[in-house]
Copies of this chain bind each other. A is one copy, B any other.
Amino acid sequence: MPTTTPQTEKILVAGAWTASAAVRSFQSSNPATGEQLPQQYPVSSWDDCETLLDAAAEAAEHLQRSTPAEIAGFLEAFADLIDANNEELAAAASLETALPVAPRLAAVEIPRTSNQLRQAATAARNGSWAQATIDTKANIRSCYEPIGPVCVFGPNNFPFAFNSAAGGDFAAAIAAGNPVIAKANTSHPGITKKLAELALQAVLASGLHPATVQMIYRLSHADGARLVADHRVAAIGYTGSRKAGLTLKAAADQAGKPIYLELSSVNPVVLMPGVLAERGADLVSEFTTSVLMGTGQFCTNPGLLILQAGTATEEFLEGTRQKFVDAQPGTLLSSGVKEALVNAVQTLTNAGATLLCGGRPVENQCSVSNSLLRVSAKDFLRDPEIFQTEAFGNASLAVVADSVEEIGKVVDALEGNLTGCIYSSSDATDAASYQLVAPKLARRVGRLLNDKMPTGVAVSPAMNHGGPFPATGHPGFTAVGIPASLFRFAKLTCYDAVREDRLPALLRDKNPTGKTWRSIDLNWTVADVS
């Protein structure tokens, strides 16, 4: 029996859609119906990778000579194509993910994706991201430059905004001047194929090297580890499960490759006593909306709530439980997500948490009833690791402490997280509690919020979608926000006494655009070197 047939989908290698030297094939499913979709996608062999990697190395050399305008032109052409195909793309993605076409995909995520590509284009064209630094006295000049071929592994929960062939890591890697090898998320190969088709069209129209964007669907775990460690790969972006991410990290680390991970995060939310007394009912709505939105399948979903024991807390938890029970549970991204969620809730209850509601798989649907759990801070502190098990989906665990000091101890026991929120009263009631908890929380998270749920991740230059391990692999980098996300895919290069006509345009005396920020003798300026 052949491992693939003429009907098996092709992979995008070296600028052409090519039959994969596949080891086998796989299909994706429609989570809303449970039915397998008809398309067959190849699981690539190492032979496919060899071709990809050689082409990527060639593209990287070629991109070193491409102009910022050419790179920006590609990103903008791609964004335009995505917008022009909004309807078709949204429908295709909904089929594979059960995410609603409207408003989520068509009105929110697709525009966010094209907007990210356009912001990346602006950053590439302007060049300020490269932080050109000039020491006129010593004639030493440095800037960030492309790092080389980047492998991107995208997650299941954002078929566009974090897609390996169009999302945040993709946009950042290309804007920094690198070719991308996109590994599709295996739960949505079809939408990744459509995005790669549009990307190729934009690549060819913009005159970049044809292998600037390549795409494969799947690899064995062993070949995945071999890919990230290959000498032709310069860096890796990965968003997904902790287990798979740490396996890739081990392979990349050993080979000395920077790998940027976005792994699990429980995103603690602290509700101080004063604010609960002040507007507990509002917070019930706000929290419920944040936990259940998108069936809780966001990296910044508030999975851990921390409160102080008391009447207001009991009222808050009962109000939330009621809303969780009343709300129809959404469809999850895959049967694997459903199974993992049920297991995670089971892990928490086995460890001693009380299930206030939910935790039950819905029969014949890719759903789990909305889950709210509670545990005392004392029990939490007996085994903080187990109670930080991520229940990815529509679930949250409330930790009830006896005092603010005990809230501080819970926060001190937290792993690294993407976000941490503190809600406090509008008056001074919670001021001292805030001062006790906030510094502890700030050390453990990438983003600290006040009076605001963490689920919105604005594409802002000041955003940090990152945080200490194990939320990510390095607390100094952000996966969202332009231009900061570009640094991940850049190397610092210093030019020492290099003759002026040989310098990159960014480092010559004349400001290349008249609008590029550069640090000249420790002052940021858009002026020429005088």
23 contacts between A and B (CB under 8 A): A61-B439, A64-B439, A128-B522, A135-B460, A135-B461, A135-B462, A144-B476, A253-B254, A255-B469, A256-B470, A257-B469, A438-B502, A446-B491, A446-B494, A447-B494, A447-B496, A448-B495, A450-B496, A452-B497, A461-B522, A464-B492, A464-B493, A476-B491
Question: In the complex, what residues of B have CB within 8 A of residue A519's CB?
Answer: 461
Residues of A433-487 at the interface with B, using a CB-CB cut-off of 8 Å, are: 434, 438-439, 442-443, 445-452, 458, 460-464, 466, 468-470, 473-478, 484, 487
Q: Is residue A147 contacting chain B, with contact meaning CB distance below 8 A? A: yes
Q: Is residue A84 contacting chain B, with contact meaning CB distance below 8 A? A: no
Q: Is residue A204 contacting chain B, with contact meaning CB distance below 8 A? A: no
Interface centre among A138, A434, A468, A493 (most CB of B within 10 A): A493
Interface centre among A140, A492, A502 (most CB of B within 10 A): A492
Q: Is residue A283 contacting chain B, with contact meaning CB distance below 8 A? A: no
0/1 interface trace, chain A 364-408, chain B, CB 8 Å (1 if under): 000000000000000000000000000000000000000000000
Q: Is residue A102 contacting chain B, with contact meaning CB distance below 8 A? A: no
Q: Is residue A127 contacting chain B, with contact meaning CB distance below 8 A? A: no
Q: Which of B474, B494, B502 contacts A464 (CB 8 A)?
A: B494
Q: Is residue A517 contacting chain B, with contact meaning CB distance below 8 A? A: yes
Bound CA–CA A458/B138 (angstroms): 8
Q: Which of B133, B258, B492 contacts A446 (CB 8 A)?
A: B492
Residues of A487-510 at the interface with B, using a CB-CB cut-off of 8 Å, are: 487-488, 490-499, 502
A462 lies within 8 A of B497 (CB):
no
Given A463-B140, A524-B524, the answer on whether A502 and B434 have CB atoms closer than 8 Å is yes
Q: Which of B128, B141, B253, B448 contacts A493 (CB 8 A)?
A: B448
| 4 nearest CB pairs, A to B | A256-B469, A524-B524, A464-B494, A475-B491
Residue of B nearest to A470 (CB): B256
Residue of B nearest to A468 (CB): B491
Q: Is residue A249 contacting chain B, with contact meaning CB distance below 8 A? A: yes
Residues of A44-82 at the interface with B, using a CB-CB cut-off of 8 Å, are: 61, 64-65
Residue of B nearest to A495 (CB): B448
Question: In the complex, what residues of B have CB within 8 A of residue A443's CB?
Answer: 64, 148, 491
Q: Which of B135, B258, B458 contacts A474 (CB 8 A)?
A: B258
Q: A325 to nearest B CB, angstroms?
A: 30
Bound CA–CA A258/B133 (angstroms): 24
Residue of B nearest to A122 (CB): B522
A450 lies within 8 A of B502 (CB):
yes
Q: Is residue A134 contacting chain B, with contact meaning CB distance below 8 A? A: yes
